[in-house]
Amino acid sequence: MTAFSKRTVLSITTLVILALTACSPSSKNQILVGAALPLTGPVAYYGQSPQKGMAIALDEINASGGINGKRLDVVYADTFGTAKGAVNAFQKLADVDKPPIIIGAGASIETLAIGKLANDNKIVLLSPVSSAAEISDLGPFVFRTVPSDAFQANMLAKWVLESGYRRVAVMFLNSSWSTSLKDHFTADYIAMGGKILDTESAEVDDTDFRTQLLRTVRSSPPAIVAFLYAKEGGRCLKQARELGITLPFFGGDPWTIEDFRKIAGPAAEGVRFTTPAQYDGTEAQAFRKKYVDRYGDSPDVYAAHGYDALKLTAEVMRKGAMTGPEIEMAFRQLRGFNGATGNTTFDDHGDVISKPFVRMTIKNGQVVPFAN
Amino acid sequence: MNELAQVTMNGLVEGSIYAILALGFALSFGVLRKVNFAHGATCVVGGFTGYFLIVNLSLPVWIAIIGVLCAGALLGFAVEKVAFKPFRQSPPLFAIVSSLAVAMIIENVLAAVFGEQTRSLTPGIARRLVVPFFGVTLTTVQLLIISVALLVAGLMYLVVARTDLGRQAIAVADDAEAAMTWGIDGPKIVSAAFMLSSSVAAVAGCLVSFDLGIDSHMGTGMLFRAFTANVIFGVGSLPGALLGGLLLGITENFVAAFVSSQYKSACTFVVLIIVLLVKPHGILNLQNRRFS
């Protein structure tokens, strides 16, 4: 090896070492929080919305002194809306950035995929979106700011019965969120005296629901309960009305997302759905104002949950909980944290017990509270 | 409403989209004997181009359609030059990987530029027509889709059977080297076939965005359907592609209606596997008849 090539090798090695240290986990004056969210892919709105809320929270936290004088930073990893993507994102964060807490994931299937990893690595997982009921049993390190679908299913079943529909047809998607909600709804609705006439399924990303709709009306249901995401729900409603099906539709929280109204247009009018309550306290109003000033449109419920997830994290970190196990303990002891989504108190399963679901509908293209 | 007739009609509408895509696919496969994995992505580009021209630039629909055709042709030209031409002499795997890479780039650029939301050219409820037979319901857009499928099939058949370009394409498809010794400009014919194939795919995308709305991730599903529709009656045959597309659409909807909606997408895989196992050259073995 010539002297020159030796020098080259040495300089390259130095550069590599420098590059590696530059992206090593939190330096002395910085504290890192991970975020594993679907920033691209078919359910990207479950990642992009919380991300926008988290950006506002991050600015607020650092403007008010960071974490006891240290700067807080968030490292994002894209989960692509899939279980595999979530595992990759989690492992990248856990191996490279080593944060004590990861905010995520988005779709329930992602959180279900990485829950065990969070426990094994003693990294707290705090989801601002995932609502599948099964997440309650993932273990001590898994928390979420959104209420479980077990509550949503129960409330929806009561609402359908109160509206006078003792028999319904059900439509759902082959996703963890949708099947879990469908299963809980079916069990609760039947236990309350209702009867399911027909159950139809479709795939996430499906575009044509006409044949499923034809099957559902075959059983002459007085109403249809459809656990579909925003995109699929919008298409389904549009196609139902185009087929001349005028039955009332009930749905779940994704119908609050703008995509649903954009695709369905006038077909969305009058649909009824449940969604985590949009809290309207002073914290929520302040958050909404900041969001509108920054992004030009009003925040959806997941942006507020992203904001709260990071604020909650900063709150316990400021009180000295800096490692995964310390944050886990601090979350369990936390009582009545007030944020943009209202009051957060966790139960033994890491579920919020303090946030209700509310009844909503769409009137003149706007999401409004349902009035009897 | 007669359920059987309505399910058939739904199948015809969905099948028409598959058929348009499959026709384009058959053309590019016919001349080159290589699978263009960017075909689905081209369809999505067509949908977004139509959306951009009609919604963002407020152009009239007919100008937008011309724009979509041009965008498709340009993309087809580029895809052939980038993903196929450099690998003309290489094993087929090279072209598969390179066109797959192009498809992924297109999908991600679209997601970055237009975002992840679904774009619908006609949000809300399309005008409903009740066909006098059996009380079948059909929207104006769906009627348009079926008509365009038949029109595209007819036009492509005319181009291939009645024009010099078509005859030269058949010659290149049969034996590219022999065709070139007869003075046919092989690379030019391949380029032209890709441009036509891609502009047809782009039109399909535009129709999808009228009827169902389009998002950046629909390409793979579309490509898979186009491929299956081709395989049913023999890859590379134009009549086979049309019939295959319609049959696939109707099969999917019948399975969903009379077996279970859970098997709707799965049945496409089943059809593909059965045909490949039992009749790898297609049910009617149209593969060796080239475009006829």
To the nearest whole Å, the CA of B48 is away from the closest chain A CA by 15
To the nearest whole Å, the CA of A64 is away from the closest chain B CA by 33
**What is the Cα–Cα distance from A203 to A172, expressed in whole angstroms?**
9
**pLDDT surpasses 70 at A143:** yes
Measured between beta carbons, the chain A residues lying within 8 angstroms of B128 are 242, 244
Please state the φ and ψ torsions of residue B203, each to the nearest 5 degrees: -65, -40
Measured between beta carbons, the chain A residues lying within 8 angstroms of B113 are none
pTM: 0.75
Per residue in A59-72, pLDDT tens?
A: 999 999 889 889 99
Least-confidence region, from A244-248, A312-316, B257-261 = B257-261
Q: Could you tell me if B5 lies within 8 Å of chain A, comparing CB atoms?
A: no
Least-confidence region, from A189-193, A275-279, B131-135, B251-255 = B131-135
ipTM for the assembly: 0.73
User: Which tokens in the block code for residue B196?
Assistant: 């036509």
| Sign of the CA dihedral with A272 first, then A278, A281, and A286 last | negative
Mutation pick from A211, A297, A300, A364 vs chain B, by most beta carbons of B within 10 Å, is A211
Does A266 sit within 8 Å of B124, measured CB to CB?
yes
Per residue in A29-58, pLDDT tens?
A: 889 999 999 998 878 888 999 999 999 999
Q: Could you tell me if A241 lies within 8 Å of chain B, comparing CB atoms?
A: yes
Measured between beta carbons, the chain B residues lying within 8 angstroms of A241 are 125
Question: What letter does residue B139 receive in the DSSP assignment?
Answer: E
If pLDDT is split at 50, 70 and 90, which confidence band does A19 have? Answer: low
- For residues A33 and A50, the answer to whether their CB atoms sit within 8 Å is no
Indicate the residue type of A56. Answer: I
Kindly give, in sequence order, each residue whose CB lies less than 8 Å from that of residue B97, ignoring residues fewer than 6 positions away.
none
Nearest CB to B261 within list A215, A235, A266? A215
A-facing residues of B in 209-228 (CB < 8 A) are 212-213, 215, 217-218, 221
**pLDDT surpasses 80 at A9:** no
What pLDDT is stored for residue A10 in this prediction?
A: 54
Does B256 sit within 8 Å of A263, measured CB to CB?
no
What pLDDT is stored for residue A228 in this prediction?
A: 95
If pLDDT is split at 50, 70 and 90, which confidence band does A157 have? Answer: very high
What pLDDT is stored for residue B291 in this prediction?
A: 57
Pairwise pLDDT comparison (B235 vs A171), residue with the higher score: A171
What pLDDT is stored for residue B124 in this prediction?
A: 59
Nearest CB to A267 within list B124, B215, B257? B124
**pLDDT surpasses 80 at A147:** yes
Does B14 sit within 8 Å of A42, measured CB to CB?
no
What pLDDT is stored for residue A17 in this prediction?
A: 52
What pLDDT is stored for residue A20 in this prediction?
A: 45
Measured between beta carbons, the chain B residues lying within 8 angstroms of A260 are none
If pLDDT is split at 50, 70 and 90, which confidence band does A193 have? Answer: very high
User: Which tokens in the block code for residue A186?
Assistant: 């079916």
What pLDDT is stored for residue A18 in this prediction?
A: 46
What pLDDT is stored for residue A14 in this prediction?
A: 53
* Domain A30-148+280-356 classification at class level: alpha beta
Question: What letter does residue B43 receive in the DSSP assignment?
Answer: H
What pLDDT is stored for residue B35 in this prediction?
A: 87
Query: What is chain B's pLDDT, residue by residue, as a tens digit (292 residues)?
Result: 578 888 898 899 999 999 999 999 998 888 888 889 999 999 999 999 998 998 888 888 889 889 999 999 999 999 999 999 898 888 888 888 999 999 999 988 988 888 777 777 765 566 667 666 677 888 888 888 999 999 998 998 888 888 888 888 888 887 878 888 888 888 888 999 999 999 999 999 998 888 888 888 888 888 999 999 988 888 878 888 999 999 999 999 999 888 887 788 788 888 888 888 887 777 766 555 555 5
Mutation pick from A210, A213, A249 vs chain B, by most beta carbons of B within 10 Å, is A210
If pLDDT is split at 50, 70 and 90, which confidence band does A13 have? Answer: low
Does A211 sit within 8 Å of B10, measured CB to CB?
yes
> What count of CB pairs under 8 Å joins A to B?
103
Per residue in A87-140, pLDDT tens?
A: 999 999 999 999 999 998 899 999 999 999 999 999 999 999 998 888 998 999
Does B118 sit within 8 Å of A231, measured CB to CB?
yes
What pLDDT is stored for residue A34 in this prediction?
A: 95
What pLDDT is stored for residue A262 in this prediction?
A: 87
**In sequence order, what E strands does chain B have?**
128-131, 136-139
User: Which tokens in the block code for residue A240?
Assistant: 């139902």
**Residues A150-275+358-369, CATH architecture:** 3-Layer(aba) Sandwich (3.40)
Q: Which residue of B has its CA nearest to A246?
A: B125
Identical fold between A30-148+280-356 and A150-275+358-369:
yes
Q: What residue spans define the domains of chain A?
A: 30-148+280-356, 150-275+358-369
How confident is the model over A163-175, as a mean pLDDT?
Answer: 94
